[in-house]
Structure 1
Amino acid sequence: MAWRWQLESQSGEPVTVDVEGAADATFPTRADAESWVGEVWQDLLEAGVDAVRLFEDDREVYGPMSLHSA
């Protein structure tokens, strides 16, 4: 099993950004994936990511989760 984030624009379209670890990042556990996004969410937001979705292989686990403050 591999865990990964889909990075999205405000319109919900997938985006690619130049943030360390973002390109094709997969994680062995959900905790690792969630820890990573918790560490880099501000960098992702500054790079143009508005929301993220978490996937386990091809199954969407949750999202979209906004990176903007409520």
Structure 2
Amino acid sequence: MIRPRWEWALDDDAGTPLAAALSPAFTTQFDAEEWLGEHWRALASAGAAQARLLHDGTQATPTVELRKP
């Protein structure tokens, strides 16, 4: 059985993908979103400005902005 693959692609302020910017792979969208919720501050500190959730390589949700308040 092939499981779905969910992962985050991270971009900088200019929309350029960050080097090695994919998150771990997840088997559910919920797990992927929970991971981003736990790690977005560290990702933003590392230069990520936006995150795109990919489902088997295709963007599945609108882009999420990673802005520190």
- Settle same-fold status: TM greater than 0.5: yes
> Following TM superposition, by how much is the alpha carbon of 1:69 offset from its aligned partner in structure 2, in angstroms?
5.2
Q: Is 2:8 aligned against 1:2?
A: no
Q: Distance in 1 between matches of 2:40 and 2:17?
A: 16
Aligned AA for 1:2? Answer: R
- Name the residue aligned to 2:60: 61
**Percent of matched pairs sharing the same residue:** 33
In the alignment, structure 1 residue 39 sits paired with structure 2 residue 42: no
Runs of 4+ with deviation above 2 angstroms:
none
Q: 1-side partners of 2:7 and 2:42: how far apart?
A: 17
Q: Structure 1, residues 4-54: CA drift from partner, whole Å, max 9, x if none?
A: 00010011111136xxxx655100100000000000000000111000000
Runs of 5+ in structure 1 lacking a partner? none
1:14 corresponds to: 17
Provide TM-score, normalisation by structure 1: 0.82
Aligned twin of 2:49: 50
Using the alignment, how far apart are the partners of 2:23 and 2:36 within structure 1?
Answer: 14
